[in-house]
Amino acid sequence: MSAFTSFRGRTAVVTGGASGLGKGIAKQLIDEGMQVVIGDIEESALQRTAAEIGAVGIRTDVSDFASVRSLAEQVRRRFGTAHVVCNNAGIGSMGRIADLTIEDWRWMIGVNLWGVIHGVQAFLPMLRANPDGGHIVNTASIGGFVTMPGLGAYAVTKHGIVALTETLAQELAEDGSKVGVTALCPGPVRTNIKTSSRNRPASLGPGALRDIDLEQTEFGASVRWIEPEEVGRIVVAAIRRGDLYAFTHPEQLGAVEERLKSIVRSKP
């Protein structure tokens, strides 16, 4: 993997940057001396956060490629290029697969998976053109490796992000590229993903996906919760080392290991 170690004076882009993980990542990149552009669908929150942390805010709907392409074009016009791109925007509403509507799937896949695809499509050529390379961080989840009831649609998108990131890493390595890529795999982090439905497009109508505050559930009481700023530090360290994976909760890797063992045990 290619490592990117020169942050100061360079430019970073973080989608979903108005709050939560994105804000934590953006703040840390600013602390490292980067010029940071945050994209978010919530205009008022976006501008408040941009003013608070010293970023540039550009409204972006990651489910719309034209919007993400416009974000890239505005970054290019203002800063010349980007060096770090964090495809982070995401939703986390829950619902059992049998209850989901097609519109539920379109919303979840449109934001979580297409949002990352759009970010890679719009920004990868820019990073590859940099003589000093760059780095892409795609926000997946521990749910990109394990599953649980009620989070099927979410897990589908996060497994997809892991596959995209792993394959992109292999292809960049084949090319001898100076661009690195990381799958950020958070466990429980205190964000407003528990209110994802606030941004569900009215055009999709009602569905079966529901917002649940996992911290208030039995599961939430049994795990370690961290703050977004800690995730920002983990991301910066992963970029510096050129890590393919960045897990925020190493203690949860036991569940991943068990899944892999069960796959191996299933062979004839």
Residues serving a catalytic function are: 154, 158
CA-based nearest residue to 85, from 52, 53, 117: 117
Quick check: helix, strand or coil at residue 185?
Answer: strand
Give the residue from 21, 2, 20, 27 showing the smallest Cα distance to 12. 27
What residues form DSSP beta bridges with 139?
184
Distances from the Cα of 235 to the Cα of 76, 93, 99, 139, 204, angstroms: 23, 24, 35, 10, 34
Separation of alpha carbons 28 and 36, rounded Å: 10
The position carrying tokens 């799937």 is 105
The number of C-alpha atoms within 13 Å of 72 and in the hemisphere containing its C-beta is 22
Q: Identify the CA nearest to 191 among candidates 57, 6, 13, 18.
A: 18
CA distances from 163 to 4, 146, 239 (A): 22, 14, 19
In 3D space, the residue among 46, 80, 78, 76 whose CA is nearest the CA of residue 60 turns out to be 46
**CA-to-CA distance for 36 and 169, rounded, in angstroms?**
24
Quote the tokens at residue 267: 């062979």
Helix (H, G, I), strand (E, B) or coil at 246: strand
List, in order, residues 6 or more apart from 5 with CB less than 8 Å away: 240
